[in-house]
Every structure is written in structure tokens, then in C-alpha cells.
């Protein structure tokens, strides 16, 4: 889908209901170990995945999100859900940031994988790159912005299908508890076949959606 303005064409992606785009890229795992060909495919059939993008290493809002996900990591894992981060920085930059203490703005202590999308192709494929490449009138290669990732988050099921996505602008940090709530809602639906109403949290009553109920609603509205 494209949204057209008088100045440029902006691509918008909705991946819900579709297979998550595949990739193999360097990543830093376990707080300091570099792997060359990290892929989400290792979780297929076994785990749910919360895959989130953040704009840039060594910034201000980003470390608050990184530490917030780490603080809740065991809760995600207890649900059979892996957390994976990604930015357009290099794996060397990730490694350096991981070696900087939290008090100094670093993310020392983060143990979930951090993918290095230095080619920016992963962010492009997930529709969260905040700009476009093109050519100017002199046929020179240009970019419309600094080409970093928006704060995109994707909940991917065991079949590799995106079941939830949200994209925040650069200044807007995310609510990690809300990400956990979506994991709970998806897993409740998968296990019980019940749909989750507004503001549902784990332990609340859910709803049984039937064809008869939908037909009755349509007949009276």
C-alpha cells in the first residue's frame, strides 16, 4: 500500500495475517556473543516471538525500552515466547553498547538477541524504515531521512505468521506490559478458541464467537 503526497510516496506495510519476512543477519546474543546468521526460523514450531525494532544504539529512549524488555524477559519466556530486538546499527556497535553500564546510558545486562540490520533490508521488509532511497535530478543516490527504524513491534506465532503489529514514531517509547498482554491474548485464543474483548488481561473472562451470534447481530443492525 502506498500513501501519496505532493512531495513523496510513503510505503506502509500491514503484515498481520502474513508470514513474517525471513532474514539471516549478524546478531549479538547472550550479552556479548556474536553469531553471523541469526534467523527467526529457529523458533518455528516451537516458540512465539516478540520481534521489535528500535531506532539507534547509544540514544536516550532506546535503553529504557531495552531494559524494560529485559526486566520482563522471564515472563515472556515462561509463556514460551522469545524476545528479539533489531536496529540498523552494526553488530560491533551493539557489542559496544552492551559493554556500557546502565548508569552511563548503556545496556549491559541485556541477554536477548539484538540483530544488526546494517543493510537496512530487514527494516524495509517489515515496513518500519523511516525513509526511502532514490535518485535526485543529478542521478545521485539519495535518502529522504537518516534511514533508521521506527519503533515497530511484531508478535509472531509458532507458524511464523504475524498476529499483531504496532509502530511508534521515534520519540514514543512502548509499553512492555502491553506487549506481554498481547502474548497472553493470542495464547488464550489459541488454547481455548475464545476471543479477547477490549482491555482483557490474563485471568479475565473471554468471549465465544459463533457464526450464529454474528448472523443475529447482522440481522438486527
Among 67-76, 92-101, 193-202, whose mean pLDDT is lowest? 193-202
Which pLDDT tens digit goes with each residue over 127-181?
999 876 565 666 655 555 678 999 999 999 999 999 999 999 999 999 999 999 9
For the chain, domains (ranges, CATH) are 2-172 (3.40.30.10)
Which of 51, 39, 36 minimizes the C-alpha distance to 86? 51
- Residue 81 designated active-site: no
Among 7-11, 118-122, 153-157, 194-198, whose mean pLDDT is lowest? 7-11
Q: What is the mean pLDDT of the chain?
A: 87
List 62, 81, 86, 196, catalytic entry: 62
* pLDDT, greater one: 197 or 155: 155
Average pLDDT of the segment spanning 51-73? 97
- Residue 221 pLDDT class (50, 70, 90 cuts): very low
pLDDT of residue 132: 67
- Asked if pLDDT for residue 217 goes beyond 50, the answer is no
The conformational region for residue 5 under phi > 0 = left, psi -120 to 50 = alpha, else beta, is beta
Which of 116, 96, 114 minimizes the C-alpha distance to 106? 96
- Asked if pLDDT for residue 3 goes beyond 80, the answer is no
Query: What percentage of the chain reaches a pLDDT higher than 70?
Result: 83
Average pLDDT of the segment spanning 35-39? 97
pLDDT of residue 199: 87
Per-position DSSP letters for 3-71, written without gaps between them: EE-SS-EEE----TTSBPPP--EEEEETTTEEEEEE-GGGGTTT-EEEEEE-S-SS-SHHHHHHHHHHH
Average pLDDT of the segment spanning 35-42? 97
Among 17-31, 41-55, 167-181, 204-218, whose mean pLDDT is lowest? 204-218
- Asked if pLDDT for residue 2 goes beyond 90, the answer is no
pLDDT of residue 208: 87
Amino acid at each position: 500500500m502506498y500513501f501519496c503526497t505532493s512531495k513523496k510516496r510513503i510505503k506502509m506495510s500491514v503484515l498481520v495475517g502474513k508470514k513474517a519476512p525471513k532474514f539471516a543477519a549478524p546478531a549479538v546474543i547472550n550479552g556479548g556473543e556474536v553469531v553471523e546468521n541469526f534467523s527467526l526460523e529457529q523458533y518455528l514450531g516451537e516458540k512465539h516471538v516478540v520481534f521489535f525494532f528500535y531506532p539507534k544504539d547509544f540514544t536516550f529512549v532506546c535503553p529504557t525500552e531495552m531494559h524494560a524488555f529485559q526486566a520482563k524477559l522471564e515472563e515472556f519466556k515462561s509463556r514460551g515466547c522469545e524476545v528479539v530486538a533489531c536496529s540498523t546499527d552494526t553488530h560491533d556497535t551493539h557489542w559496544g553498547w552492551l559493554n556500557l553500564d546502565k548508569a552511563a546510558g548503556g545496556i549491559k545486562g541485556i541477554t536477548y538477541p539484538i540483530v544488526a540490520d546494517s543493510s537496512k533490508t530487514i527494516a524495509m521488509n517489515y515496513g518500519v524504515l523511516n525513509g526511502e532511497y532514490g535518485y535526485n535530478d543529478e542521478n545521485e543516490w539519495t535518502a529522504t531521512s537518516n534511514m533508521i527504524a521506527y519503533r515497530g513491534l511484531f508478535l509472531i506465532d509458532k507458524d511464523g505468521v504475524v498476529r499483531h503489529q504496532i509502530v511508534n514514531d521515534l520519540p514514543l517509547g512502548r509499553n512492555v506490559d502491553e506487549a506481554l498482554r498481547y502474548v497472553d491474548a493470542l495464547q488464550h485464543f489459541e488454547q481455548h478458541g475464545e476471543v479477547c474483548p477490549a482491555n482483557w488481561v490474563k485471568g479475565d473472562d473471554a468471549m465465544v464467537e459463533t457464526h450464529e451470534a454474528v448472523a443475529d447481530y447482522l440481522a438486527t443492525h
